[in-house]
Amino acid sequence: MTAAIRVEQVFKRFGSVHALNGIDLTVQPGEFFGLLGPNGAGKTTLISTLAGLSRPDSGRLAIMGFDVEADYRAARRQLGVVPQELVFDPFFSVRETLEIQAGYYGIDPSRQRRAWIDEILEHLDLTSKADANMRALSGGMKRRVLVAQALVHRPPVIVLDEPTAGVDVELRQTLWQFVRRLNEDGHTIVLTTHYLEEAESLCGRIAMLKAGRVVALDTTRNLLSRFSSHTLRLRTASDKPARLGMTRELTQDRPSGWWTFAFAHFDEIEPLLARIRDAGCIIDELEIGKPDLEDVFVRVMQEQNQEQIRAT
Ligand SMILES: Nc1ncnc2c1ncn2[C@@H]1O[C@H](COP(=O)(O)OP(=O)(O)OP(=O)(O)O)[C@@H](O)[C@H]1O
């Protein structure tokens, strides 16, 4: 099967900064793929090289089998990018902006094209703004237009670079509903975001980048079970758990009075609670937490920091 995105040994330096330091990545058609990493990890640089806006120093990139350099036009047609920065032409209306974008891709003005633009406008809740000038739109509305622009040529692969940065809750929900639908219709989606709960609920597979390298790559489910666990958190007024010698199981969150117990199976909870109860220790509050991607992210990044320290 032809990969939606194939990245092979891609290197890119800016002076002494290794923005991409040997990236290998394959995204299959139909995937909803997350690209995560701290600020400066190389996510936007990777997207720019995929879009042909920045040339790698070495390595190969292909979109739906088309080489980004050798077959630039064909590769670019396969890809819709929603950029991180709000770039727009202040002289045109929303509809004109989309018509012009369609023109860049050589799409004939036709009833079909107008129908698709109307559909995009509707799904992004932009219909009432179709004739408004771009200058007159709020930041969130402009971001919606950026999403619309990326979709105008019906690309099979859509890359969203932090599309929800500075966006209100309503647009986020509208946007994710629409992007989910595009994915269900067969579009490949690549998403970068700093909102890890969004990535967790949307992405089937995730790559984590740090300093231009892929430092974790797996299904979201595997990442969650490998690096994170369920937790039971409880708060007691006493320090009895420590005196009872349960500190191997329970870790104390000083000075809040909370204790945390990490477990893999729910049947591990009952015996622990029984021991606490038998010791006459009163639990004031109790909560159960699921494994979460933020936890995984922090762990992976900490491991990388430690490896870096060991290497120096
Ligand atoms: N045009 C450029 N000139 C010089 N350095 C650059 C340029 N573009 C990116 N860099 C550097 O390359 C590294 C990777 O930047 P990049 O923007 O790809 O990171 P990112 O993962 O997208 O970060 P963020 O989450 O902050 O958007 C950073 O150290 C950045 O300063």
pLDDT score recorded for residue 208: 96
Terminal alpha carbon distance of the chain: 42
In a domain, 295, yes or no: no
In a domain, 93, yes or no: yes
ipTM, interface predicted TM-score of the complex: 0.97
What's the CATH number where 151 sits? 3.40.50.300
Atom of ligand 1 at shortest range from CA of 42: 18
In a domain, 307, yes or no: no
Whose C-alpha lies nearest to ligand 1, atom 24? 39
pLDDT digits (tens, 9 = 90+) for 15-34: 999 999 999 999 999 999 99
Å from CA of 45 to ligand 1 middle: 6
Whether residue 238 sits in one domain with residue 217: no
In a domain, 190, yes or no: yes
Whether residue 240 sits in one domain with residue 206: no
pLDDT score recorded for residue 25: 97
Whose C-alpha lies nearest to ligand 1, atom 26? 39
Whether residue 167 sits in one domain with residue 86: yes
| Type of residue at 272 | L
Whether residue 211 sits in one domain with residue 68: yes
Whether residue 213 sits in one domain with residue 240: no
Give CB contacts under 8 A, 24+ apart, made by 99-107: 101/149, 101/152, 101/153, 102/152, 102/153, 105/77, 105/152, 105/153, 107/152, 107/153
pLDDT score recorded for residue 123: 85
Å from CA of 131 to ligand 1 middle: 35
Whether residue 254 sits in one domain with residue 113: no
What is the distance between the alpha carbons of residues 185 and 179, in angstroms, rounded to a whole number? Answer: 10
Number of domain units in the chain: 2
The list of the chain residues with pLDDT below 50 reads none
pLDDT score recorded for residue 202: 95
Mutate to test the pocket of ligand 1, among 39, 55, 210, 215 (most ligand atoms within 8 A of CB): 39
Structural domain containing residue 246: 229-290
pLDDT digits (tens, 9 = 90+) for 132-175: 999 999 888 888 899 999 999 999 999 999 888 777 888 788 88
Å from CA of 162 to ligand 1 middle: 14
Pocket of ligand 1 (CB under 6 A): 14, 17, 19, 37, 39-45
Whether residue 252 sits in one domain with residue 112: no
In a domain, 203, yes or no: yes
Q: Are 200 and 191 in contact (CB under 8 A)?
A: no
Whether residue 76 sits in one domain with residue 220: yes
Whether residue 201 sits in one domain with residue 94: yes
Entry pTM: 0.85
Atom of ligand 1 at shortest range from CA of 84: 27
Whether residue 178 sits in one domain with residue 264: no
Whether residue 156 sits in one domain with residue 70: yes
In a domain, 110, yes or no: yes
